[in-house]
Chains A and B, each alone.
Chain A
Amino acid sequence: MLQTKGVALEVRLSAYIDGELGEAEKTELDALLASDEDARALLDKLKAGSAFGNGAFEDFLHDPVPLALVRQIKQGSGISPKSERVATANLPKRSAHIWPRIVAASTVLLLLGGVAGFILGSATNIAEPTRMANERSWLDEIAEYHHVYSRQREHLVEVPAAQGEKIETWLASSVGVTFRIPTLDGKGLTFEGARLLVVDGNPVAQLVYRDREGEIVAICFRKQAAAPPSGDFIETIRGDLGFVSWQRNGASFVIVGPSSNPALQDLAETAAAAI
């Protein structure tokens, strides 16, 4: 245990709060606090600072982490996180090394333009750009819905989790995709219920979960007969939201949650196996 005799009272009281003092010093400070109003006020001030700081530091955990860094750690080398940052509306201006990035981006755009021109000019296959555009639109709309619904406290879902069977029947007939509600309790997600969304005039099912920190994670899916079957899980970051999408059995799926959640890919793989 620490010896703090002779040091400033605020330092001693701070150690008192943390239980770092020996019994004798603790007893001494207990007696002081019982008789000295100023000492009590100082203790309250220290405690108020602790509580305020705790709340503020909690918020730091919700900042998005660099996606490329997550990938690099998961997969090993081969990706340079410095050139692939999380795209977020809240990102600061990044002054360092901006010109090389602009030149590189311009070069890529020039190349893409050339490739796109060749593709369009030869008119042999425009399905891929169209699919990519559709994918963008679908994720954008999911992101907008998620921003709105995830903030709803009392009306988070249309049909609550208790009516699981009803949700499966209702959404399967509405969306045209047969599914089971994945149980993700083992991954720290509690099923809250479901919603029916509309994207590009087509119905989209949304299964809503809440994680241990109260963050909302949702699985959205729609019928998409033209979607090529693929076992790939594609990770995307849009601002403060992360997405992992996949195609299966004539349907498109995407799991959406905070981009700071490093487990989205794992959740997507678990959900894909269970849905």
Chain B
Amino acid sequence: MRPAADTKDFRRDLVSMLPKLRRFAMTLTRNANDADDLVQEACERAIARSHLWSGEGRLESWIYAMTRNLWVDEVRKRKVRGGGGMVDIFEQDELNTEAAAEKAVYASQVQKMILSMPEGLASVFLLVNVEGYSYREAAEILGIPIGTVMSRLSTARLRLAAMLSENTERRA
């Protein structure tokens, strides 16, 4: 069992991590409602299991992986309930960009564009490009092969470049 002071420190670390954790959750859920619920669930689980945190490495990685696992479980449940399911991004025939963008109602226009990217791209981009994780670390957090991290990352970068170009043209 963790000492009380350690638990307090753990909670404090968790609070300071909330904006980043919420951002990561947004890349998974691609809408704010689900992201907030997911963050809440992840925090509850992290606190309940804080005695398992070794204190080595990045606490964020541990929580991110937990968040991702919870989201995969949630998607599975929805699949059972709704008869639909999560399709691998490279198996998708058509990108469901409009629906995803609509859900991101309180993100800015650019945020909406980011969240409208096909499933799996934004989270890889966030971990590697924005937060500086290595390919291997990102693959471990997301539970995918390194090769998938590589291909999703380059796809995300090209899509973002296209968005930038569209944005520039629209403003001109």
Whether B75 sits at the interface, judged by CB under 8 Å, is no
CA–CA, A70 and B143, complex, Å: 28
Query: Are the C-beta atoms of A262 and B125 separated by less than 8 Å?
Result: no
Whether B157 contacts A93 by the Cβ 8 Å rule is no
Is B141 part of the contact surface with A, judged by Cβ < 8 Å?
no
Q: Known contacts A45-B161, A262-B18; can you find 18 more A-B pairs with CB under 8 A?
A: A2-B150, A7-B150, A8-B151, A8-B154, A14-B153, A46-B154, A48-B164, A49-B157, A49-B164, A53-B157, A57-B130, A69-B43, A72-B40, A72-B43, A73-B14, A74-B12, A85-B36, A88-B106
> How close is B80's CB to chain A, nearest CB, in angstroms?
19
Stretch at the interface among A59-67, A129-137, A193-201: A59-67
Stretch at the interface among B19-27, B66-74, B83-91: B19-27
B148 to chain A, nearest CB (A): 11
Closest CB in chain A relative to B109 CB, distance in Å: 10
Please report whether the interface of chain B is mostly helix, strand, loop or mixed according to DSSP: helix
Which 6 pairs across A and B sit closest by C-beta, in order of nearness?
A49-B161, A49-B160, A14-B154, A92-B105, A49-B157, A60-B23
Chain B residues near A260 (CB, 8 Å)? 19
Residue A96 at the B interface, CB < 8 A? yes
Beta-carbon contact of B130 and A54 below 8 Å: yes
Which B residues are in CB contact (< 8 Å) with A48?
160-161, 164
Q: Could you say which interface size class chain B belongs to? A: 35 or more
Nearest B residue to A260 via CB reads: B19
Binary interface encoding of chain A residues 71-88 relative to chain B, with 1 for a CB under 8 A from any of its CBs, else 0: 011100000011001001
CA distance A56 to B129 in the complex (A): 12
Q: List 6 A-B contacts (CB under 8 A).
A: A10-B154, A20-B150, A48-B164, A50-B157, A57-B126, A262-B19
Known: A59-B108, A70-B15, A92-B32. A15 touches B150 (CB 8 A): yes
| Bound Cα distance A213, B108 (Å) | 19
Inter-subunit contact B114/A56 (CB<8 Å): yes
On chain A, the residues within 8 Å of B31 by CB distance are 92
* B98 CB-CB contact with A under 8 Å: no
Chain A residue numbers with a CB within 8 Å of B15 are 70, 73-74, 262-263
In the assembled complex, which residues on chain A have CB atoms less than 8 Å from the CB atom of B23?
57, 60-61, 63
Among B11, B22, B151, the residue within 8 A (CB) of A63 is B22
| Contact across chains for A93 and B105 when beta carbons are under 8 A apart | yes
Question: What band does the interface of chain A fall in when counting residues whose beta carbon is under 8 Å from B?
Answer: 35 or more
C-alpha spacing A46/B11, complex, angstroms = 38
Q: A1-44: which residues lie under 8 A (CB-CB) from chain B?
A: 2, 4, 7-8, 10-11, 13-15, 18, 20
Report the minimum CB–CB distance from A71 to chain B (whole Å). 9
A90 adjacent to chain B (CB < 8 Å): yes
Q: Which residues of B contact A85 (CB under 8 A)?
A: 36
Q: Which residues of A contact B157 (CB under 8 A)?
A: 10, 14, 45-46, 49-50, 53
* Chain B residue contacts of A81, Cβ below 8 A: 36, 40
How far does the Cβ of A200 sit from chain B's closest Cβ, in whole Å?
Answer: 32
- Measured between alpha carbons, how far is A50 from B113 in the docked complex, in Å? 14
- Whether A96 contacts B33 by the Cβ 8 Å rule is yes
Number of A-B contacts (CB under 8 A): 143
> Is A82 touching B151 in the complex (CB atoms < 8 A)?
no
135-172 of chain B: CB within 8 A of chain A: 135, 146-147, 150-151, 153-154, 156-164
Q: Is A52 an interface residue (CB 8 A)?
A: yes
Interface residues of A (CB under 8 A from B): 2, 4, 7-8, 10-11, 13-15, 18, 20, 45-46, 48-50, 52-63, 65-66, 69-70, 72-74, 81-82, 85, 88, 90-94, 96, 260, 262-263
Contacts of A10 in B (CB 8 A): 154, 157-158
- Which residue on chain A has the smallest CB distance to residue B131? A57
Q: Tell whether, in the assembled complex, residue B111 and residue A65 are in contact, meaning their CB atoms are under 8 Å apart.
A: no
B158 touches A63 (CB 8 A): no
Given contacts A60-B23, A61-B23, are A73 and B106 in contact (CB under 8 A)?
no
Contacts of B113 in A (CB 8 A): 56
Nearest B residue to A75 via CB reads B11
Q: Give the distance to chain B from A267, nearest Cβ to Cβ, in Å.
A: 12
Expressed in whole angstroms, the Cα–Cα distance for A93 and B20 within the complex equals 23
